[in-house]
Structure 1
Amino acid sequence: MVRNYGFLVCIIVIVMDVVAGILGIQAEIAQNKVKDLKMWVLECRDPSYEAFKLGLSASILLALAHAISHFLGGCICIKSKEEYKRATSNRQLAMLFLIFSWILLGAAFCMLIIGTLANSRSRESCGLSNHRFLSIGGILCFIHGLFTVAYYVSATAITGEQK
């Protein structure tokens, strides 16, 4: 008896991305609680270990959600423009969602890592103000979840069409 676990995979991916987004926003809140000295554009502040832990956790969850959905969804490849034009609408959508999910992964992961690394230093740091990296990365995690689930659904629909 064959069981369909697609709904469970979608729920797991959405929950992981939502938790990653919440952790990113919580990391931003923890970072803002640290004392700082601001002079025009330059800012001196102590790193927040709590923000470091939350940002790192958000980055790991984001990467795991992406890996799970793309590994279980399979690889949808279109090699040329002519092949794209001949492809079914499900295949075209899957390719579009694949591209957008990778772009969002790159943007969200970079934002979370930049914010996390800013809080990893063991001493006070001075430099340009770098607020909002963690919260923007957290918000991008929510959007990533939508595109990743859409990719998974489209990829599994293609697999169903081929059978």
Structure 2
Amino acid sequence: MVKVIAVLACLLIVVMDATAGILGIKAEAAQNKVKQLRLWIFECKKPSHEAFILAAGAAIVLAVAHFLANLIGCIGCFKQNSAKSGAPTHLFSKTCCIILWIVVAVGLVLLVIGTLSNKESGSSCGLTHRHYLSYGGFACFAHALFAVAYIAITNAAA
């Protein structure tokens, strides 16, 4: 029964992360539709409300997917510790967990920076914030990969 729940959770996490990734890429496209004046590394642009909404949605979906991945992964870790499984599996599980946290931190930071650059506060000038949203979207896809690996390893070893 636990393995069926783990498989369904993996599918749900993949769908959520793919949705967050697509939202991040669409937010980048919406941001690029806005008029921009660029000079070397400086740019002046108007914020895009559509990009703001899409990027905020991507960040929220990524955070929920990460919470779910950690919840299911930790349940498998507790069972793995109680079963006293082999050291390589336990080490690989912890490595996936650490990489998962790094990927979600990078992805959320990129999405939040992209979201804040599209906040409705009039025209802004400063350093370029190009491609932050699409890189955050790609981090969502990487999050799906490591989340599935983490859940699969911890639940298979248990």
Question: Scaled by the length of structure 2, what TM-score is found?
Answer: 0.89
RMSD: 1.7
Residue in 2 that maps onto 1:83: none
Question: Are 2:25 and 1:25 equivalent residues in the alignment?
Answer: yes
Q: Structure 1 regions of 5+ residues with no counterpart? A: 78-85
Question: Are 2:104 and 1:108 equivalent residues in the alignment?
Answer: no
For these two proteins, the number of residue pairs brought into alignment is 150
Counting helix residues as a fraction of each chain, which structure ranks higher? 2
Q: How does 1:1-163 map to 2 (within 5 A)?
A: 2=1, 4-74=4-74, 76=77, 88-158=87-157, 160=158
Residues 81-137 of structure 1 show CA distances to partners (whole Å, capped at 9, x for unaligned) of xxxxx9522211100100100000000010000000000132100011110000000
CA distance in 2: counterparts of 1:141 and 1:69, whole angstroms: 13
Letter in 2 for 1:106: A
Residue in 2 that maps onto 1:82: none
Q: Secondary structure at the match of 1:66?
A: helix
CA distance in 1: counterparts of 2:38 and 2:97, whole angstroms: 42
Question: Scaled by the length of structure 1, what TM-score is found?
Answer: 0.86
Question: Contact conserved, 1:90 with 1:157, CA < 8 A, in 2?
Answer: no
